Amino acid sequence: MDRKEVIAEAQHFLENEKQFHLGFLPTEQSNPKTRNLDQKFAKSTAEGIKNLQTIDRDVALAAAGIFASDEFARMVEVGTRALINGGKIIFSGCGATGRLSILLEAMWLKWFVNCECEFSALAPYKYRIKSIMTGGDYALIRSVENYEDYNVFGRQQVREIEIEANDVLIAISEGGETSSVLGTIDEALDRGADVFFLFNNPCEILAQHLKRSRLAINDHRVTVIELYSGPMAVAGSTRMQATTFEMLVAGAALEDILSQLIAATGTMTEKKEQQLARHIDYVEAFGRLLDDLEASAAVEAMSTYTDFEADIYRNCGRITYFADNYLLDILTDTTERAPTFSLPPFRKCDDAVAPPSWAFVKNPFLSTPATWETTLGRLPRCLKWHNNDYRALGADERICANPPKLDTEELYKFIIGNEPDASRVEAKPNSAVMVAAFAELADGPRGRFENAFMAGSKTFASQMRLLIGAADNDSAMAIPVSPVKTRLELFEHLAVKLVLNTISTATMVKLGRISGNWMSWVELTNKKLVDRSIRLISELGGVSYEEACHALFAALAERDKYAATISPVQYTLAKLKRIHIST
């Protein structure tokens, strides 16, 4: 690409892609509380982790108003009524919120598997909770480039899951502006469904600046639930506090809906119902969880593990997590590291060219197809769209001409089961890490999980254990936490999320992939991330948005010079520094 073409592309983004210029959104801005995050970690890992944790408290402060709101009560009431009347509840999201939608469905299905004998009267409700993730279930494990930019893709996925007039759509978008998620809202409304819209920015800001968001927010048929708690700990990293807040609220609604169904079917004795269906103070329970994670023993354990994992990567090694009950939670965090920090994404078994991912996840008990089905609680729902389908949807010709393979067969090429995988042990150092949490710890050192882990990790150079929920364990990597018990294990899942988010982010700070509190190694897989990178360059490079844009597009055109060693953002910052020094 010559200089004129580079200038033209940059100018096109500046003039014609303003709907993706999102610096006005609080979730995209730098949080002043963590502005010196990289310096905190340079002093000590524990000090950096404590700084990260302070932003989770903003979620706790904002949550009280949500749970006391008419909108939350209506979501529970309408959702319960829909299920009783034969309808479905469908969660929709993209990226982190898509993975959350899948997790919420899996939590529901897991409860039915564990309790189907005791609650047989509820069997008709088992498959009435569903999820839509932009790009289908394939996107759970590998980001699908640019799909979030298409409203029509969201519409098509709603058509395929067959939303009807007696159903409920709960659409989740951290920013409140994701086109594909807004597409699910548009199609669900056209089909007469009840619609709830959860997002993490102030309504008035979204409505003022973005037409696509304004149309949904101002539609009287949409119940809006604004989950605003401020900027993220890492600028724009909505996989952290934004998704935590969404998981807390959407998960609590699902917990309450299940309690309402149990009460309506009369499947429990009055005494047992009083014991199990007592009202849960979700704000207090979340606060207790944060207390546990901020305690010195938990911070020390997370710091020790962070230093261990950072050392593995610093020496070009690989980590493979072994998981069972919480494999989906761990998979979510691990998948999200690739686009967030420009790491190699998960590699398919028939790909001998792409580099293996730094981290991976495996189930030591089951084959890959069985692991996917057990983890999801159902068969995968993948997209089977072809060239003509994309053309009918009005997709970019680059997608139409070479559509990505997103079907179930492709998903199964990610070997997350117990089959041997030589790529995980070919690099040295390498380590197998057993991630066990809560009920899994009750088996003890010679239990089912431990035995399967030892058998499946024999070829690894080392074995390590990260134990979440352990209070009386000699391991330096045991994180003592005692979440409030709920039917769907909401706070156990939140605990695993918070621990993994903290560790993975902390590890990347230690490796220099965060500058200040900005993701300076972000992968530019969609227009939102292009804008975020430009703003990062503008703030850290001390230049205007326009100058930063031209500098980034020039760097992208030179990517063959540096792609394996540095991110486009860091390359751009380095060039700007040299220019400023020379002048």
Mean pLDDT over residues 81-96, rounded? Answer: 97
pLDDT band at residue 583 under the 50/70/90 scheme: very low
Peptide bond into 429 cis (omega under 30): yes
The confidence score (pLDDT) of residue 193 equals 98
pLDDT for 471 beyond 90: no
Chosen CATH of 39-44+291-510 out of 3.40.30, 3.90.1690, 3.30.428, 3.40.50: 3.40.50
The confidence score (pLDDT) of residue 581 equals 38
pLDDT for 475 beyond 90: no
pLDDT per residue as tens digits for the range 292-344 = 999 999 999 999 999 999 999 999 999 999 999 999 999 999 999 988 888 99
How far is the C-alpha of 544 from the C-alpha of 418, rounded, in Å? 51
The neighbouring-strand residues paired with 63 are: none
How far is the C-alpha of 61 from the C-alpha of 287, rounded, in Å? 9
The confidence score (pLDDT) of residue 11 equals 94
How far is the C-alpha of 173 from the C-alpha of 182, rounded, in Å? 8
How far is the C-alpha of 432 from the C-alpha of 363, rounded, in Å? 12
CB count in 10 Å sphere of residue 485: 13
Length of the chain: 583
For residues 261 and 273, which has the higher predicted lDDT (pLDDT)? 261
pLDDT for 281 beyond 80: yes
Mean pLDDT over residues 37-43, rounded? Answer: 97
DSSP summary character for residue 130: E
Question: How would you classify the pairing of strands 318-322 and 430-437?
Answer: parallel
Question: How would you classify the pairing of strands 514-515 and 518-519?
Answer: antiparallel
For residues 527 and 255, which has the higher predicted lDDT (pLDDT)? 255
The confidence score (pLDDT) of residue 345 equals 93
pLDDT for 274 beyond 60: no
How far is the C-alpha of 320 from the C-alpha of 427, rounded, in Å? 12
Which letter, b or e, does each residue of 74-89 get, where b requires 16 or more Cβ atoms within 10 Å of its Cβ?
A: ebbebbbebbbeebbb
* 39-44+291-510 and 69-278 agree in CATH topology: yes
The confidence score (pLDDT) of residue 445 equals 66
Strand order across the 194-199 sheet:
129-133, 89-93, 168-173, 194-199, 222-226
For residues 358 and 519, which has the higher predicted lDDT (pLDDT)? 358
CB within 8 Å of 133: residues ≥ 6 apart: 92, 93, 94, 98, 99, 101, 102, 139, 140
Instruction: Report the share of the chain in percent with pLDDT over 90.
Output: 79
pLDDT per residue as tens digits for the range 22-37 = 888 899 899 999 999 9
- Map out the domains of the chain as residue ranges: 3-30+516-582, 39-44+291-510, 69-278
pLDDT for 276 beyond 80: no
The confidence score (pLDDT) of residue 427 equals 92
CB within 8 Å of 271: residues ≥ 6 apart: none
pLDDT for 209 beyond 50: yes
Instruction: Select from 394, 371, 117, 380 the least CA-distant residue to 267.
Output: 117
Instruction: Select from 464, 388, 398, 383 the least CA-distant residue to 431.
Output: 464
Instruction: Select from 223, 194, 193 the least CA-distant residue to 73.
Output: 223
The confidence score (pLDDT) of residue 272 equals 52
pLDDT for 544 beyond 50: yes
The neighbouring-strand residues paired with 169 are: 90, 195
pLDDT per residue as tens digits for the range 233-268 = 999 899 999 999 999 999 999 999 999 999 988 765
Q: What backbone torsions phi and psi does residue 238 show, to the nearest 5 degrees?
A: -75, -5
How far is the C-alpha of 536 from the C-alpha of 542, rounded, in Å? 10
Please answer whether residues 79 and 253 qualify as being in contact, where contact means their C-beta atoms are separated by less than 8 angstroms: yes
Helix ranges (H only) for 20-134 are 37-43, 45-53, 56-67, 70-84, 96-115
How far is the C-alpha of 476 from the C-alpha of 98, rounded, in Å? 34
The confidence score (pLDDT) of residue 580 equals 46
Instruction: Report the share of the chain in percent with pLDDT over 70.
Output: 95
The pTM of the whole model exceeds 0.75:
yes
The confidence score (pLDDT) of residue 271 equals 47
Tokens standing for 317? 């090694």
The confidence score (pLDDT) of residue 551 equals 93
Q: What backbone torsions phi and psi does residue 162 show, to the nearest 5 degrees?
A: 60, 55
pLDDT band at residue 102 under the 50/70/90 scheme: very high
Strand order across the 478-479 sheet:
359-362, 318-322, 430-437, 462-468, 478-479
Mean pLDDT over residues 220-232, rounded? Answer: 97
CB count in 10 Å sphere of residue 15: 8
Average pLDDT taken over every residue of the chain: 92
The neighbouring-strand residues paired with 196 are: 170, 223
Distances (CA, A) of 86 to 57, 165, 404: 39, 11, 36
Helix ranges (H only) for 511-567 are 527-541, 545-557
Please answer whether residues 496 and 331 qualify as being in contact, where contact means their C-beta atoms are separated by less than 8 angstroms: no
The neighbouring-strand residues paired with 132 are: 92
Tokens standing for 244? 């935590």
Chosen CATH of 69-278 out of 1.25.10.10, 3.30.70.360, 3.40.50.10490, 3.10.105.10: 3.40.50.10490
